[in-house]
Structure 1
Amino acid sequence: MSLNATDQRIAWPVGALLMSQVSVNLGAAFAKHLFPVIGPEGMTALRTSLAACLLLASWRPWRHFKVGRAHALPMLAYGAALGLMNLLIYQAFARIPIGIAVAIEVTGPLAVVLFNSRRLQDLLWLGLTCVGLWMLLPLHTSSSLDPIGVACAAGAAACWALYIMAGQHVAGTFGGGAVAWGMAIAALLTLPVGLAHAGSVQWSPTLLVTGLAVAVLSSAVPYSLEMVALRRLPARVVGMLFSAAPAMAALMAALVLGEALTALQWAAMGCIIAASAGSALSARGAAPAA
């Protein structure tokens, strides 16, 4: 059965958004392979530095750089949140399964939605999130999670929330170049940390090639695909598709790294995914996401 014109217009951005999820989580799984060599700090510095170069070369934001001092602080907050989010989530990946780390991390944008809502039904999504997080606590199984890894994932969630709020301030001023400038600031913040832990070994030719692949998979490709989707899909549909991130992360980690989750951990992730999807579907309005 062939798709009609309307179905085709929807199918392409939905497919682009799903492919962006595959790409970013595949990049995370490959990045974890380098942790024994340069550590999560070195991998963060390598990824943000190469991604900044790719995004700056792609967007060339300096061509339209007419910004006053009043916009400097929001952009610094945006870039700092992006850099710290990358650093913390890689620290979490090093200690706990990637799927669980992402499940905890997505509570950041979910919290932004819930805290700005005044509807009683959103209490259901908040309750589901709390149940999912409670199920991940080391009270119900002998295979407990590393508490530092959980704390790092929670910190990444907070940074993601800040990234969203700061991004709302800079998007109108900087446009698409906001991502490029933000990643450049993130690279400047994470590079000294990476050099302190990994030294110059992270700039070896082999690691540079692998790091470039991670930067493309985790930043350049998904950001480009998301641009296609965000301009053509309602915000609630985008939120629903993003809610599948923990399951996609767990799948990529299982295929690349052989990471396995317990039935209880899958159930916990299911609660968080359901809360994210429910919050997105029940959101008011059907205007395309900005």
Structure 2
Amino acid sequence: MKLRGSALMLGSGLSNQVGAAVAALAFPVLGPVGVVAVRQWTAAAVLVTAGRPRIRAFTAGQWRPVLGLAAVFAVMNLSLYTAIARIGLGLAVTLEFLGPLTIALLGSRRRADLACAVAVGAAVVVLTRPRPSTDYLGIGLALLAAVCWGCYILLNRTVGERLPGAQGSAAAAAVSGLLYLPVGVVVLWQHPPSAGVLGCALAAGVLSSAVPFLADLLALRSVPARFFGIFMSVNPVLAALVGLVVLGQHLDVPAWLAIAVVVCVNVVASAPGRAST
């Protein structure tokens, strides 16, 4: 069962990063905004079908975290995709990964986690080391995506407590899709995509939303939640590899080492024994 769960988690991570790379192929025509709009619509269709939210029965106390989650969905995906367009897939995803990693570190009182925080800080400096060509806006957008991912974790926990099953996530995805409806229609109208470009945007929605959602749901039935969290640390590595193979985005040796540090720190931060020392 654990082997099956590991395979599902690896497939989920690979699907997510391949989806982001495929999305980048549509950026020249639709731009990140257009691609994110199509992705949000696809995610909404999949999650609403799977979650079947009874929206009319939601109370005000249930709607508040759902609307917050919808806003996080909208900002997180747009900031990440815009960052990918500016600084590349590997760097953008690694910086975004600082969001859940920060949540993990803040939730611990171990002295070792202070060293972990210092190591992550050093890794980020290496990844974003200032040069005349440094894209500070792209880095800032990736860090905004990190903040959103951290908020997503906290809000998703609240939504899960107030709504059963996937109803909260489905409703949030639907609201987020509606938010992108006006701008998405304008972008598609002004920049009519070819079948190939539209296919890339739709594939991004399926690969980065539908497949990971279903794979993660099945994986969590086979492996402990903590192991699932640790395995998530493979995403920055997968992003760098997919960026290299699919998009031809090369990272230098210091960047690879910095990514390795971020991954290792996440494993330490998510490991058992997080009691106060």
- Pairing 1:273–2:263 present: yes
Residues 107-122 of structure 1 mapped to structure 2, 5 A cutoff: 107-122=98-113
* Aligned equivalent of 2:138: 149
Is contact 2:87-2:139 (8 Å) kept? yes
Q: What do the CA deviations read for 1:172-199 (whole angstroms, capped 9, x no partner)? A: 3142222221211221223334445554
Q: Which of 21, 32, 35 is matched with 1:43 structurally? A: 35
* Aligned equivalent of 1:189: 179
- Pairing 1:129–2:116 present: no
Q: Which of 207, 228, 234 is matched with 2:224 structurally? A: 234
* Aligned equivalent of 1:21: 13
Displacement of 1:225: 0.4
| Cα distance change on mapping 1:61 and 1:108 into 2, 3 Å | same
Distance 1:284 1:263 in 2: 32
TM-score when normalising by structure 2: 0.92
* Aligned equivalent of 1:288: none
| Cα distance change on mapping 1:61 and 1:91 into 2, 3 Å | same
Percent identical residues: 35
Gaps of 5+ in 1: 1-8, 286-290
CA RMSD of aligned residues (A): 2.0
Counterpart residue type for residue 67 of structure 1: F
More deviation, 203-212/71-80 = 203-212
Is contact 2:6-2:219 (8 Å) kept? yes
- Pairing 1:162–2:151 present: yes
Counterpart residue type for residue 31 of structure 1: A
Q: Which of 230, 246, 258 is matched with 2:236 structurally? A: 246
- Pairing 1:96–2:102 present: no
More deviation, 202-211/26-35 = 202-211
More deviation, 88-97/169-178 = 169-178
The total of aligned residue pairs comes to 274
Instruction: List, as ranges, runs of 4+ consecutive aligned residues in structure 1 with deviation greater than 6 Å.
Output: none
Displacement of 1:145: 3.3
* Aligned equivalent of 1:176: 166
Q: Which of 196, 203, 217 is matched with 1:213 structurally? A: 203
Counterpart residue type for residue 153 of structure 1: A
